[in-house]
Structure 1
C-alpha cells in the first residue's frame, strides 16, 4: 500500500529541519528555545498520529506508506521508506517518549540551543531507523543517532560523563561495523547488487552464509539491546546521562536493537534463525538472572533501573526465539511496554535528583511524606516494571511465557529450564524494586533530603509521568490497544520463521547439532543430527 503524500519523509526530516534555526534563536535562559523545540516536537507527534490514522491499515501484514527515491545511485543508496506492524508502533513510541523528553528538559539552562538541537537530530534518526527500507540508509540513520547521544551525555551528564559517553560510543560504534559489513556482503551476494531490504530478504542465500550474517547482526544488535556480556556501557550511560536523555535511551534506543533482531535476523535470515534461536533463549535467561541479581548490589538509583532494563530485554530475546505468534507478539509488546515504563521511571529519578542532588539510595529516605505525588507515581511505575497484573508489563511477560511454553520447536526439558530460570527473574524483580522504593521513600529523612524548599512534583512533571502511566495501565487492562497494531505482521513473521525450521531438514550436510530442538518439527532427515 502506498501513499501519494510522502508522510514518512516529512516525519524524518521535520525535526532535522526544525533544528536548523535553533542557533539563531535568543539564548536568554533558554525560554524561547525550549518553547520552539517543544512546539516542533508536538507538531511532529501530531502529524505522526494523523498520518498513520489516515494511511495505515491494521489488517495488512505487508509494508505500507511506501516511498522510494534515488539518492546516491552511484553506490546504490536510495531514500527508501515504509512501515509495517514491526515498525509503526515503535515509531509512535519514539514520538511519544521523545516529545515528553523535550518537555522534561525544561530545567536545561546550560547551552540550551545545542541541547535542543541535538535532541531534534536524534528524533529524526530514530524515525529513520524504524522506517528505512534500504540497508545502507538504515546504517546511516543508526550511526546518526549515536552522535547526539554521545554529545548529550558528554556535555550535560554527571561527574563521570566523559567516561560514560566514551564507553557508549566505543561499544555502539564497534557494533555498528558489523551492520555495515553484513549489508555489503548481502548486497553483493548472488551478483545482483542491491541494498533494498525487501529484495535482500527475497534472495536465496546458502544456510552457511545466513549463519555468518545472522551472527554479525546479532553482535551489532546485542551491544545495543544490550545482551550479556556486551551490556556494561548501559549502566554507566544511564547513571551519568541527564534524565531526558535516559528517557530516550531506555524508552527508544534499546528498542532499535530489538527491532533489528526481528527485521534482519528473524525475517530476512529466517533459514538461520532455527540455529540461533536456542542461543537467543539462553542469552535471554542469562540477561534476566544476571541483571536481576546484579541490581541488588546497586546503590545508585539509575544504575539499579538500568540493570532492570537489561533483565526486561532478556524476555524480548526469549519471545523472539519462541517460534510462536504469541511469543513474538509478547516480545514486541514487551518492547513497547518497557519503553513506556523505563521512560517514566528514569524521568521520576531525574525529578528526585533535581531536588536532592543525589542518586545514592543510602542518602535518601523519608521522601514519601515530603513528596507524596512523586512517591505515588514512582510506585505506579515500579509496579508496572515488576509486572503487576493490570499493567502492560504483566501482559508482555505472560505472553512470552505462554508463547515459549506452547512452542513445539523445542524439547520439553529445554523449555522447562528456560521457563523456570526466567521465572526466577520474575520473582527477583519485585524484591529489588520494592527494596528501592523502601530505601528512597521510607525510613528516616537524611541530610540529602532535608534541603530547604524541597517540593513535590510540579504540574508539568506530574503531567509527563501520567502521559506515560496512562497507556501503561490502558494496555494492561486492554492489550488490544497495542497488539492490534502489529497482529497481522507477527502472524506472517512467525509463519516465515517456522518455514525456516524445515531448512535444517533440507541441509543435512551442515552437520550442525541442535540439541535443544524437538525432532518432530524438523523432519526425518534432520533427526539424525539431533540429541533431545
Structure 2
C-alpha cells in the first residue's frame, strides 16, 4: 500500500513525457490534477487502514535491495509520518490547482511537481537511514528546477543558493548516519531507534551535532536560514506553497525520527541548548518579519519563527510535546500555504507586494474583498487566535514545554505577540484605508485563485474547532520515546536539564 504513494506520482510524472506535446497547458493541468487527486485518495485509503490503537510502525514493506551497502527498501507509517503524508498529498493538489492555466513548458512543470511529491513521501515513509537520505536528496532536484525555470528575476541566484545549502545539509546528515554505522560496527542501515544507545554519550553528541546542523539548514533555523527568503521571493506561488507547507517539514520530521529517537542520551544533554536555539530562531524570525516591506518576504521570515516552536517542543521531548510538535508542523503547513497563496493573488492583481504602496484592498466594490477576508483569517490563525488550528498547536507547544524549559518557553511566547505585530502591520496597511486610484477596478479573482484559499481557511477553522480530527492520528506518541524509556535511567537522571 505504501509503495503506491511513491509509484502513483512517480509514474504520473513520467506519463507527461509520453503525452502528445501539442496538448494545451490547461489539459496538462487537468491530467496533473487527476493524478494528484488519485494520490490524495490513496493516502485516505492508507489512513483508513491505519490502526489508531497501534503505536508501532504499520503497513510495513521490506525488500532487500543493496544489502552489501546496508540500503534496503523498507517503508512504514506511524503517527509521526501519517499526518505529514496527508499534508504532502493535499498541498500538492492545492499547488497544482493554483498553478496558472497557461504556463511555459507545462509537461516539465507538472511532472516535476509530481516527482517532488514522490520524493517527499519517500522520505517520510523510509525505515532505512540510507533510503531516507536518498529520498531527501531526490526532492532537491525537482525543487531546484521549479525555482530556476519558473521563478522570478533572480531565480538562478535563489535556486543555486537553495541547491548549495540543501546539498550541504544532505552531506552532514549522511556523515552522521555513516558515523553511526562505523562506530556501532554495523553495516545495516535499517532504522532501529535503539541502535545508538551502546555508544558513549560523547560519540552520540558528535553524531547528533552533524544531524542537527544538517536538519537545521533544512528547517531552517538561525543562522542557516538565509536561503529561505530568497527562495520564497523568487519562487512562483504554487512552489512557495510546497516549499513552506511541506519541504521544511522534512527537517522537523528528522529532528524527531533521527534525533530524539536515535540519540536519547545525547538529546537529553543538548536539550537546553536546543531550546535556547529555538528562542533565537523565533525572536530573530519575528523581528526580521517586522522589518520587511515585501509581503512575501515577511511571510517567509514568519516561517522561520514558527518553525522554532517545533524545535522547542522537540527539545522538551515528552509525549505531549512531541504530539504538539506534530500538530504545529501540520498547522504551519496549512497556514503558510494559505498566506503564500493570498500574497500570490495580490501580486497577480496589483503587480506589487510592497506594503508601503498598497492600500485599501479590502474595498468591497473595487478591491479584493474576499482575498482580504481570507488574509485576515490567515493572520488570525498564524497569530494563535482561539478557534483556529494555530491556537491549538501553539498552546500545546507552550503547555508541554513550560514544565521542562520555563524560561525558554516564556521567551518564545514573545514571538506569538510579535506575530500579531507584523501581520497586523501587513493587514492594516495593505487591506484597510482608502483604495488608491492606481489600484481601482482590479481584475476579478478567478475560481482557480479563489477556491484553494477558501478550502484552506475552512480546514484551518475546522481543525481549530475539532483538533481531535488531527490529534487522533498521533496520540500514541509514547512510541516515539521508546529509546528514552529503555535508556539507562542512571545516566538520564544525571544529565542536566
Look up the SS of the partner of 2:172 in the other structure. helix
User: Please, which runs of 5 or more residues in structure 1 have no aligned partner?
Assistant: 1-6, 408-414, 506-521
Q: SS where residue 197 of structure 1 aligns?
A: coil
Would you say 1:14 and 2:17 are equivalent positions? no
2:423 pairs, out of 433, 444, 451, with 433
CA gap 1:102/1:376 in 2 versus in 1, 3 angstroms: same
Establish whether residue 459 from structure 1 lines up as the match of residue 447 from structure 2: yes
Q: Which residue of 2 aligns with 1:3?
A: none
Please tell me whether residue 48 in structure 1 is matched to residue 35 in structure 2. no
Aligned counterpart in structure 2 of residue 193 of structure 1, from 187, 196, 201: 187
| Inter-CA distance 223–388: structure 2 relative to 1 (3 Å threshold) | same
Superposition pairs for residues 266-345 of structure 1, below 5 Å?
A: 266-345=260-339
Tell me: CA distance 1:132–1:447, structure 2 relative to 1, closer, same or farther (3 Å): farther
2:21 is the counterpart of 1:26: yes
Name the counterpart of 1:127: 121
Deviation at 1:28, TM superposition (A): 4.7
| 1:318-467 alignment, distance < 5 Å | 318-369=312-363, 370-407=367-404, 415-446=405-436, 449-450=439-440, 453-455=442-444, 457-467=445-455
In the alignment, what sits opposite 1:76?
70
Q: List aligned pairs for 1:210-229, cutoff 5 A.
A: 210-229=204-223
Please identify, of 116-125 and 493-502, the stretch whose mean Cα deviation from structure 2 is larger.
Answer: 493-502
Alignment check: 8 A CA contact 1:274 1:501 kept: no
What is the CA distance between 1:203 and its match in structure 2? 5.8
Check whether the contact 1:386–1:429 (CA below 8 A) recurs between aligned residues: yes
Map of 1:474 onto structure 2? 462
Distance change in 2, residues 1:250/1:121 (3 Å): same
User: How many residues are paired up?
Assistant: 493
Which structure 2 residue ranges, 5 or more long, are not aligned?
none
Contact 1:118 1:152 in 2 (8 A): yes
| Residue in structure 2 matching 1:145, options 129, 139, 150 | 139
CA contact (8 A) 1:175 1:220 kept: yes
Whole-Å separation in 2 of the counterparts to 1:191 and 1:35:
51
Aligned residue number for residue 491 of structure 1: 478
Q: Do the aligned residues in 2 keep the contact of 1:387 with 1:394 (CA within 8 Å)?
A: yes
Contact 2:88 2:246 in 1 (8 A): yes
Query: In the TM superposition, what is the alpha-carbon distance from 1:58 to its structure 2 partner?
Result: 1.0
Deviation at 1:56, TM superposition (A): 0.9
Contact 1:16–1:121 (CA under 8 A) maintained in structure 2 = yes
Query: 157-166 or 259-268, which moves further after superposition?
Result: 157-166
Q: Which moved more, 1:331-340 or 1:436-445?
A: 436-445
Q: How far apart, CA to CA, are the structure 1 residues paired with 2:276 and 2:437? A: 45
TM-superposed CA distance for 1:501, in Å, is: 8.0
Compute the RMSD of aligned alpha carbons: 1.8
Alpha-carbon distance in 1 for matches of 2:74, 2:482:
26
Please tell me whether the aligned partners of residues 188 and 194 of structure 1 are also in contact (alpha carbons under 8 angstroms).
Answer: no
- What is the Cα deviation at residue 199 of structure 1? 6.9
The separation in 1 between residues aligned to 2:73 and 2:483, in whole angstroms, is: 27
Instruction: Name the TM-score, length of structure 2 as normaliser.
Output: 0.95
1:39 to 34, 47, 52: 34
Q: Name the counterpart of 1:173.
A: 167
Contact 2:37 2:93 in 1 (8 A): yes
The Cα shift of 1:212 comes to 1.1
CA shift, 1:187, in A, is 2.4
The answer to whether the 8 A contact 2:194-2:483 is kept is no
Q: Among 46, 53, 63, which residue is 2:57 paired with?
A: 63
C-alpha change, 1:171 and 1:263, in structure 2 (3 Å) is: same
Does the CA contact (< 8 Å) of 2:25 and 2:101 recur in 1?
A: no
Question: For the residues of structure 2 that align with 1:14 and 1:367, how far apart are their CA atoms?
Answer: 41
1:494-513 alignment runs, 5 A limit: 494=481, 496-497=483-484, 500=487, 502=489, 504=491
Q: Deviations over 1:99-131 (max 9, x none)?
A: 111111133411111111110110100100100
Contact kept in structure 1, 2:69 and 2:187, CA below 8 Å:
no
Cα separation, partners in 2 of 1:503 and 1:186, compared to 1, 3 Å: farther
- The answer (yes or no) to whether the contact 2:197–2:264 under 8 Å persists in 1 is no
